[in-house]
Amino acid sequence: MKIKNILIVLFVPICSFILSRMTRVYEEKTGKEVTTHRFVIEPSSSGYAIDLQSLTGDSVIKQKFELDRNLAALSWTFEYPGENINVIASRKGNKIFLKGRGRGKEIDKTFDIDELPWNQAFNIGLEGFAPAAENSLKFWAIGTRGPGYMKITKFKIKRKRNETININGKEIEAVYVTISLTGLLSMFWTGNYWYRKSDGKFIRYKGKNGPGKPVSVMELVSESDQ
């Protein structure tokens, strides 16, 4: 009962957030490697549908997300031909079912979670947090690389401060937050995220995407209504 009461408080401000139909393009630089992420966002009967293609040279990763109106994930598909990964996950109550094939092995897992949101869209899925009043929020996500590959982990987003940052030559007022694993695991990964203060849109990420990897910087380069 206590958990339910906390969740109601957390989600009142987030429920009012609305995504519009649009296409956004982000560019991510990791050392000499450049990845272009193209998000196509559409309102749907359940909330929102997001189609994401991430292109690095000749390698492409395709993802689809079905989100509710609070931007929490209902279902997710992940296709990465370069590593022979093709999986689909869906949430029913406090269980997430993950099936498919990855790295030459069949995957059939059921994750038992609590009532916290499942946020597989990660950056865009947390856009309701920036304009909200809360200072922190916990959520679940499934890893796609490193030690967390195809495992579910609890994360925490924490509000730090407001900052003015430069994106594509423009000074933008932003909300700076950090996202990390919870508990003692927080020492293994923390990502830095910036959301536009005026509308909560994700505009920048900075962090390491894996052990031994150089720092990655991902920024919004274009946005257009469909």
- Within a domain: 145: yes
- Within a domain: 225: no
Band the pLDDT of 206: cuts 50, 70, 90.
very high
Is it the case that residue 212 has pLDDT exceeding 80? no
Amino acid identity at 79: E
CA dihedral 137, 111, 101, 155 (to 10 degrees): 20
Is it the case that residue 225 has pLDDT exceeding 90? no
- Within a domain: 205: yes
Q: How far apart are the first and last CA of the chain?
A: 42
Number of domains, the chain: 1
Average pLDDT, the chain: 88
- Within a domain: 166: yes
What pLDDT sits at residue 58?
Answer: 93
- Within a domain: 213: yes
- Within a domain: 214: yes
Domain range for 95 is 2-220
Which position has the token pair 């560019």?
A: 27
Is it the case that residue 2 has pLDDT exceeding 80? no
- Within a domain: 226: no
Is it the case that residue 142 has pLDDT exceeding 80? yes
Q: What pLDDT, in 10s, does the model give residues 148-197?
A: 899 999 999 999 999 999 998 999 999 999 999 887 666 678 899 999 99
> Residue 153's domain is classified under what CATH number?
2.50.20
Of 137, 124, 131, which is closest to residue 200 (Cα–Cα)? 131
Take residue 98 and report the two structure tokens written for it.
């993950």
> Can you tell me the distance from the alpha carbon of 205 to that of 147, in angstroms, rounded to the nearest whole number?
21
- Within a domain: 10: yes
What pLDDT sits at residue 77?
Answer: 98
Band the pLDDT of 9: cuts 50, 70, 90.
very low
Is it the case that residue 3 has pLDDT exceeding 60? no
